[in-house]
Amino acid sequence: MQKQSQGLGNFQITAIVTLNAIGVAVLYIPQTAVEIAGIDAPVAMLAAGIISLILTGVIIILSKRFPSMTMIEYSRVILGKYLGFLFGAAFIIYAMITSSYVLRVFGDAMKVLLLPRTPLEIVIISMLFLCAYCVHGGISTIAKVCEIFLVPVIAVIGITIIFNLNYVQLFRFRESFANGLMPIIRAIPALTVSYLGFEILYLILPFMKTREKALPYGVAGLIIPLLVYTGLVFISVGESGETISELMYPTIHFSRRIGSTEAFVERFDIFFIAFWILAVFTTLAMFMYMWSISMTRLLSLRNYKPFIFILLPVCYIIAILPQNIVQINVLGQIVNYGGIFIVTSSIPLLLISIIRKKGGAKNG
């Protein structure tokens, strides 16, 4: 535990969770949601968000039982040496693949939206090095970056939502629940994935200044993505109905709509993309932090910084491997299943730790 001198503030935890959840998915979340849930997408999104809130709570309660340990260490205490090691390894692989996936989706989106003639490799490598530099500064650096970026990122997405509310045709939502609750329930696992990022709470609780406040502030961190995502899905269904499921980057089109009609700022989409890059940057930095620190803890080492650069090429290679959009989606599926496994396993972990009386609430 280096640089324990200050520790993370409460608001920093909120910012970290928020910006880790808001990442590449902002661009295509309406498409995914509508494709799976149809017109019920906003409701499904909300439901998935509430499930994620509960899972966040579980993770925080679990982590609070082991105040000075990260998940890598306490999973060994709970599950025993070998199973715990396996779980930790699974977590690292998951974080690794997720960061590669985020990188690749980011690179592809940049090629379509902003830099059509820049090679993908350049986009990916420059982002990787930037993130590596940020992660090298430690968790307090990441937290500060998140704190600064939180307001602009939320503001840009918020403006997009607010200025599109005008065009929402409420009659479309009459169809909600028409097919019963099944489409919503079926959509929840796939949509919970878009809130992923709160698994960072497995790792960062030991670095907090006041651990008692972790629960309210951690959960608050997920309420913002909940509102943002539900809002985005709401405006897209309200405006375009189910056609949204045919668009690759629907959110960009909604942000463009502001410039072309309100005439107070031309080409709002450029702002949107710029601040979206910040969101991707923080997400990526945190996933890189996740795998580097988990790796260190797994091998019972102290300094995680060398691991950033040791594992960087692996991350790059996984990101560059998929040849086309279909293969990227396969990677995305792996990330989804892995993510669901990682976050839902917090429930059995908590139960086992209670049954085996490992850890305790006495320390906070």
Partner 1 sequence: MAKKTMLLILVLALMFTSSSCWDQKPIENQAFIIGLALDKGKQPDKIMVTFQIAQPKAFIAESPADESFWNITEEADDISTAQSQLANIMNWIPSFMHCQVILIGEDLAREGLHKYHDFILRTHEVRRRLKVAVVQGKAKDILDMDFKSALLPAFVVAEMMSQNIKYSYDLTDYMDVAEIHRADSEGFDFVLGRIIPMDNKIEMSGSGVFKNLKLVGWLSGEETMGVRFLQGNVGSGYLTVDLPEEFGDRAVLRVYEAHSRLEPELKGNKLYVRLKVRLEGDIQEIVNEKGKMNETVFLSTAQRLFEADLKEKIEHAFRKAQQEYESEPFGIKDKVKSYYPKYWKQHKDQWEELYRSAKLEIEAKVLIRRIGEVNN
Binding site for partner 1 (CB under 8 A): 39, 112-113, 171-175, 178-179, 240-243, 246, 253, 256-257, 260-261
Name residue, tokens 């932090």: 289
Closest distance to partner 1 from the beta carbon of 243 (Å): 4
Residue at 277: amino acid letter: I
Q: Phi, psi (5° rounding) for residue 208?
A: -80, 150
Q: Which is nearer to partner 1, 82 or 171 (CB)?
A: 171
Closest distance to partner 1 from the beta carbon of 26 (Å): 17
Lookup: tokens for 96:
């690794």
Separation CA 210–CA 9 (nearest Å): 7
Closest distance to partner 1 from the beta carbon of 263 (Å): 10
Q: Which is nearer to partner 1, 256 or 358 (CB)?
A: 256
H helical segments located in 241-324:
250-262, 268-298, 305-320
Closest distance to partner 1 from the beta carbon of 302 (Å): 31
Q: Which is nearer to partner 1, 214 or 237 (CB)?
A: 237
Q: Which is nearer to partner 1, 73 or 242 (CB)?
A: 242
CA nearest to 16, candidates 222, 194, 158, 230: 222
CA nearest to 236, candidates 225, 220, 247, 226: 247
Closest distance to partner 1 from the beta carbon of 269 (Å): 9
Closest distance to partner 1 from the beta carbon of 169 (Å): 9
Q: Which is nearer to partner 1, 26 or 92 (CB)?
A: 26
Lookup: tokens for 335:
């990330």
Separation CA 108–CA 120 (nearest Å): 7
First-to-last alpha carbon distance for the chain, in angstroms, is 19
Name residue, tokens 């959509």: 187
Separation CA 203–CA 225 (nearest Å): 20
- Cβ contact 61:256 at 8 Å: no
Lookup: tokens for 113:
């939206």
Lookup: tokens for 245:
């499921």
Q: Which is nearer to partner 1, 237 or 349 (CB)?
A: 237
Local structure of 208: helix, strand or coil: strand
Closest distance to partner 1 from the beta carbon of 361 (Å): 49
Q: Which is nearer to partner 1, 34 or 146 (CB)?
A: 34
- The CA dihedral of 43, 108, 97, 289, to the nearest 10 degrees, is -90
Closest distance to partner 1 from the beta carbon of 178 (Å): 3
Angle at 251 between CA 247 and CA 256, to 5 degrees: 105
Q: Which is nearer to partner 1, 229 or 249 (CB)?
A: 249
Lookup: tokens for 316:
């790059």
Q: Which is nearer to partner 1, 76 or 257 (CB)?
A: 257
Closest distance to partner 1 from the beta carbon of 271 (Å): 16
